[in-house]
Amino acid sequence: MPELPEVETTVRGLNEKVLERTFVDVWTDWPKLVKKPKNFAEFKKEIKNKKIKKVRRRGKNIIFELSDNLSLLIHQKMTGHLICGVWEKRGARWEPKNGGDLRDKVNTYIHLVFFLDNGKMLALSDLRKFAKAELWGTEELRKSKELENLGPEPLEEGFTFEKFREALKDKKGKIKQVLMDQSVIAGVGNIYSDEALWRARINPFRLTNKLREDELKRIYNAVKKVLKEGIRLGGESFSDYRNIEGKKGNFDDERKVYRREGEKCPVCGGLIVRKKIGGRSAHFCPSCQK
């Protein structure tokens, strides 16, 4: 699933490509992607002729603030990603006119297309079709449980160590699970929790309420550092994620433990292991991470 660095990379790309553009039409072959309003014809009617005034991120959500006090929320879920280009419909498939990275197979599972007033198109490619699009009143969305239940943004200037410590206060779960809890901290998922805990030298199975202050500080610093690295390198494209031009991110060069089970730890040479934790996988070095 795209995490904070991938979503932030997408949002920055969108602000370069689609700001001040107007939606002139929308197409889908999978109406279930649109969750609000549930009737796709109504969604199409409401979004037409709305101008994109701002694109921002909240947690793993992409939010387009539109004219007429409307907002479009897109969550890319497991395998979805937004791409910008020009396609033409050939049978059941959308073929990119200019080819290039948009021809990457990962970019061809197009199930939602927004047509813009400059002739460009914004498409959602999603192999598993778990992504969602919702059209909200802007103020309604700001006050919604969808956003209110999210924890603080870990890269905001005001996210101090004290706020991090307060967010984790009284949390009794395993530290990896707590870091991935979107109500505790917004945007961190499987990839960056693994990478941050390796950098902090903390075992993902440690109980959060048993961690010492110096260990919490190491985790805090590692989370911020690894997320910034992820953004700088354009995200992780180990699986399905691509940026809005259809290109892979470069964080893979920095991936030390995630999906590297059986490989040698870059620090101690011990073997990286993978263990299940709450239905997800934790990748870590048993020797380095205590």
CATH of the domain at 98: 3.20.190.10
Residue 248 scores a pLDDT above 90: yes
Q: Which residue has the tokens 């494209």?
A: 237
Antiparallel, parallel or unpaired: β 61-66 and 23-28: unpaired
The per-residue pLDDT for range 184-226, each reduced to its tens digit, is 999 999 999 999 999 999 999 999 999 999 999 999 999 999 9
Identify whether 156 is part of a domain.
no
pLDDT of residue 238: 86
In the predicted structure, residue 20 carries a pLDDT above the cut 90: yes
| Weakest mean pLDDT among 11-15, 191-195, 199-203, 236-240 | 236-240
Share of the chain above pLDDT 90, in %: 96
Q: Which of 17, 60, 199, 218 is catalytic?
A: 60
The yes-or-no answer on residue 12 being catalytic is no
Say yes or no: 171 and 142 in one domain: no
Point out the catalytic residue in the list 2, 5, 152, 154: 2
Same-domain pairing of 129 and 165:
no
Task: Provide the pLDDT confidence category of residue 1 given band limits of 50, 70 and 90.
Answer: confident
Average of per-residue pLDDT across 7-20? 98
Q: Which of 239, 177, 222 is nearest to 204 (CA)?
A: 177
Please say if 3 is a catalytic residue: yes
| Phi, then psi, of 29 in degrees rounded to 5 | -110, 10
Beta bridge partner(s), residue 88? 95
Q: Would residue 280 show up in a list of annotated catalytic residues for this protein?
A: yes
Instruction: Quick: pLDDT tens for 111-160.
Output: 999 999 999 999 999 999 999 999 999 999 999 998 999 999 999 999 99
Residue 138 burial (C-beta neighbours within 10 Å; 0-12, 13-18, 19+): middle
Residues 27 and 66 in one domain: yes
Looking at the domain assignment, is residue 155 inside a domain?
no
* 60 is an active site residue: yes
Are 168 and 249 contained in the same domain? yes
pLDDT of residue 88: 97
**Domain span at residue 227?**
161-284
Q: Which of 120, 201, 255, 280 is catalytic?
A: 280
Check whether residue 144 and residue 213 sit in a common domain.
Answer: no
Of all residues in the chain, what percent carry a pLDDT higher than 70?
100
Evaluate whether residue 74 is within a structural domain.
Answer: yes
pLDDT at residue 98, rounded to an integer: 86
Question: Do 10 and 244 touch, CB atoms closer than 8 A?
Answer: yes
- Catalytic residue (choose from 3, 6, 8, 236): 3
Asked if 178 and 65 sit in the same domain, the reply is: no
CA 168 to chain centre: 22
Looking at every residue in the chain, the average pLDDT score rounds to 97
Q: Do 141 and 168 fall within a single domain? A: no
